[in-house]
Structure 1
Amino acid sequence: MNALYIVLLSAGSFFVLFVLDKLMGNRQLSQMSFFDYVVGITIGSIAAEMATDLESDWYHAIIAMTVYALIEIALTFISRKSKKARKILNGEPILLMNKSGVIGKNLKKARLTLDDLISEARIQGYFDINDIAYAIMEDSGNISFLSYQSGNEEKNNSASDLSNK
């Protein structure tokens, strides 16, 4: 009997997860904010607990998952309507590097080292940091680079400029 109950609870939690996912909107992992990711993990954890905790009432887990989903939906709605709320909830892009060089205080704000920036530049195909006109950490956590070639900018910085900022 316990095995059948676990199967039913698992199917029920899966169905609730499916419905809540549709309500919250489908997004790829790369499009999710950190907050969205944490809410998703939390809802999944509650669903797993629902499927395996035979002592608790099953509807408590559904209520908890629904509350998390509704809060996430409300915060997403608010952030879409208000630029100030979006800035608070999602953050804002940080200029890490401009034509003058690396902006050290912004690297600290982004909690990155120069090595992190150079490594990400290499990953994105920029093996000479002097080819980069701008580097921006997006609110998603990704770093965008604009080369001098794509921006028709003149090179202005040297390797010594980069390490002195």
Structure 2
Amino acid sequence: MHAYMEILIRAILSIILLLFIAKILGKQTISNMTFHDFVTGITIGAIAANLAFNEDLKWSYLLLSLVVISATSFSLSLIALKNRKLRSWISGSPTVLIEGGKILENNMKKVRYTLDSLDQAIREKGIFNMEEVEYAVLEDNGMVSVLQWDEYRYVAKKDLKLHSNAQAFPVELIMDGTFMETNLEHNGLTKDWLESELRRRGKRLCDVFYAVRGTQQQLFFDFYEDGIHKPIDKE
């Protein structure tokens, strides 16, 4: 029983420590990772796993390892911010794969990137014809950025000289049938106003699952009763 309790405590402690370390190292560590983030994540994960389950290793050794690795990773992040040359070594640097519509075979060989991977990355951008691509760049995080030739790009409102209304950040007003009072207050809105909007639609608060004011000040309501008798449920 004592052994089970020790593993339980160690597992909980390792999760808490990982959350704490992730907060210190920042969101970059859990986003699309660079070389530095990849190495840090794997190392810290391995140490935390040993902390949770490996009773042969002392707690103090594992805790010290976590502290040292986290401090080293944090220091490397600071160095990368200050020094551009070291940043390219620590985090990597972008590699151009296509320039002016031409595939750069030598660059692809340097990063060991195959044509199959390039084709897939371009298709994931919704582009199925290679001739549409003017530039493709393999970023530090392993993602491919693509720039199409002018004639294949989508037309923006700016290109058509159309004026657009200013957009606001969406504000959630009701979640799980409950007023988001803080959001209402911070945006100068009231429950009475929202209830009046619901009455206009012939609804009450108890009918609403989710409500949000969108980027153009428009209101969107999702009701508990959707009126869909045979919803699609693919497994």
* Shorter-chain TM-score tier: 0.7 to 0.9
> Distance in 1 between the 2:96 and 2:34 partners?
19
Counterpart in the other structure of 1:141: 142
Cα separation, 1, equivalents of 2:120 and 2:111: 15
* Deviation string, structure 1 residues 22-45 (Cα, Å, up to 9, x no partner): 111123644321331221222122
* Alignment partner, residue 92 of structure 2: 91
Matches within 5 A, 1:83-162: 83-149=84-150, 150=153
Q: CA deviation at 1:68?
A: 0.7
Could you say if the C-alpha distance between residues 111 and 45 of structure 1 is closer, same or farther in structure 2, counting changes exceeding 3 Å? same
Unpaired segments ≥5 residues, structure 2: 156-235
Letter in 1 for 2:33: M
Ranked by relative contact order (alpha carbons within 8 Å, sequence separation 6 or more), the top structure is: 1
TM-score normalised per structure 1: 0.82
Q: Is the 8 A contact 2:101 2:131 kept in 1?
A: no
| Separation in 1, partners of 2:57, 2:49 | 13
Residue identity over aligned pairs, in percent, reads 31
Q: Which residue identity is paired with 2:95?
A: I
2:55 aligns to what SS in structure 1?
Answer: coil
Q: 1:100 to 1:11 in 2, by over 3 A?
A: closer
What SS does the aligned partner of 2:97 have? strand
* Alignment coverage as a number of residue pairs: 152
Residue in 2 aligned with 1:36? Answer: 37
Change (3 A) 1:52 1:114: closer
Instruction: Give, in whole Å, the separation in 1 of the partners of 2:37 and 2:69.
Output: 10
Structure 1 runs, 4 residues or longer, greater than 6 Å off: none
Q: Which amino acid in 2 is paired with 1:134?
A: Y
Deviations 1:104-132 (A, max 9, x none): 11111121223322222122111111111
Q: Which runs of 5+ in 1 are unaligned?
A: 153-165
The aligned counterpart of 1:81 is 82
Bigger fraction of residues in strand: 2
Deviates more, 1:142-151 or 1:56-65: 142-151
Cα distance per residue 1:2-34 (max 9 Å; x no partner): 111222222222222222111111236443213
Preserved contact between residue 96 and residue 107 of structure 2 (Cα < 8 Å): yes
Deviation at 1:89, TM superposition (A): 1.1
**Over aligned residue pairs, what C-alpha RMSD do you find?**
2.0
1:158 aligned partner:
none
98-107 or 80-89, which moves further after superposition? 98-107
Structure 1 or 2: more helix by fraction: 1
- TM (normalized to structure 2)? 0.59
Report if the CA contact (8 A) 1:17-1:47 is conserved: yes
Deviation at 1:62, TM superposition (A): 0.6
- Asked if structure 2 preserves the Cα contact closer than 8 Å seen for 1:137 and 1:143, the reply is yes
Larger Rg, first or second structure (1 or 2):
2
Hey, what's the Cα distance between the residues in 2 that align with 1:56 and 1:100?
55
1:16–1:62 contact (8 Å) kept in structure 2: no
